[in-house]
Copies of this chain bind each other. A is one copy, B any other.
C-alpha cells in the first residue's frame, strides 16, 4: 500500500469482527515490526501473542482491578473519571478483540522509546493488511505474579505496548488534530 494511504487509513480501532487473524499474518507483522530502529541497535523488544479470548478477558479483569486499586491509593481526578468503566463487568479493556500482542521491553535505557517505535511499525504493518489496531495503555497493569509467569513476562521485562489487532467491524473517523506547535530557528 502507498504510504500516503496508510497514513490516511491508520486508526485506533475498538470494534472488531470476531474472526481471528491467521498466525502467519501476525508473524509477518511482527517480523516487519523488528525493522524499527533502536538505541545502539539493542532491539529490546519481546513479543507476547495471545489468541485465547478467555485469557484476554482475565487480563482485562486483572488490569481493571489494579486500576481501581490505583484510584483508591492516589486520588487522581484524571483516573477517577474512568472508575465507572473499570467497575462495569461488561467492559473489556481489550474491546473483545480476538488477538492481543504485548510488546515488552528488556529493561534498560530507551526501552520504552524503542518499543514505542516498534509499536508504530506494528500498527502500520497491520493497516497495510487491512487490519485494525489499538494501543491499550490500560493493559499495562498486569501485576499478579502468577499471571505474569503464565504469559511469559520475566523479571527483566516491562510492558510497553499492549496492542489489540483484528478485522475492523467499523472504522472511526480520524480524531481532530490540534495546530502544530513549532519553534523555528533558522541560521
Instruction: Select from chain B the residue with minimum beta-carbon distance to A186.
Output: B51
Q: Which residues of B contact A128 (CB under 8 A)?
A: 3
Q: Which of these, B6, B53, B110, B116, contacts A3 with CB under 8 Å? A: B6
Identify which of residues 99-154 in chain A touch chain B, using a CB-to-CB cut-off of 8 Å: 109-110, 112-114, 116-117, 119-121, 123-124, 128, 135, 137, 151-152
Copies in the complex: 2
Q: Could you jot down 20 A-B contacts, CB within 8 Å?
A: A1-B3, A2-B2, A2-B3, A7-B32, A7-B121, A12-B37, A23-B186, A31-B180, A37-B123, A43-B177, A47-B182, A49-B183, A49-B184, A51-B184, A55-B185, A112-B113, A112-B116, A113-B160, A117-B119, A152-B183
